[in-house]
Amino acid sequence: MQSHVHNKGLTLIEVLVAIVILSTGIVLLLQVFNTTLFAAREATESSIAQMLLREKVSEVQLYMNENRHLSELPRSGSFPLPFDKFEWRLVIQPVQTIETMNVENSLEIWEWLKVIITVERINGGRPYTTSFFVREKRENEKIQ
């Protein structure tokens, strides 16, 4: 007579292998979730910073449209709530000065300026920068 023993349970090795496989899968899923959260936060920060950058460019252009000199603008600051975690910097670099004569025989002096605006998180995040050129009238002198 033969006796057959049927094992209805799992061996310790099979249980350990299953735990290792499940643990590896869970760790990988958590890493993907963490990466996704990081990417979403970076995308949100980038969108906000670019919006604030466009706002500062508009402020500079409005200032110029009011015939005011850029030298009167503040060079840095922070944004009001809810964007108070961001700060901005303004750099104005002279590029070229051009003298021209107008129809009234007056000398007009124009200066080309490079305007650089940077927005970044106060705690040192990635800076977002744009630059553009503007022309400012410096003085009017009558030629004799």
Hey, what are 141's tokens? 């002198």
Average pLDDT of the segment spanning 82-93? 94
Residue 99 domain-assigned? yes
Residue 3 domain-assigned? no
Residue 7 domain-assigned? no
Residue 1 domain-assigned? no
Confidence of residue 125 (pLDDT cuts 50, 70, 90): confident
pTM: 0.70
Query: 122-143: b or e for each residue (b if 16 or more CB lie within 10 Å)?
Result: eeeeeebeeeeebebeeeeeee
CA angle, corner 137, sides to 88 and 98, nearest 5? 105
Query: Residue 4: what are its φ and ψ, rounded to 5°?
Result: -105, 130
Amino acid at 5: V
Confidence of residue 12 (pLDDT cuts 50, 70, 90): confident
| Rounded Cα–Cα distance for residues 130 and 77 (Å) | 16
Range of the structural domain that residue 127 is part of? 12-142
Residue 69 domain-assigned? yes
Residue 74 domain-assigned? yes
pLDDT at position 37 is 92
Residue 5 domain-assigned? no
Give the total number of structural domains in the chain: 1
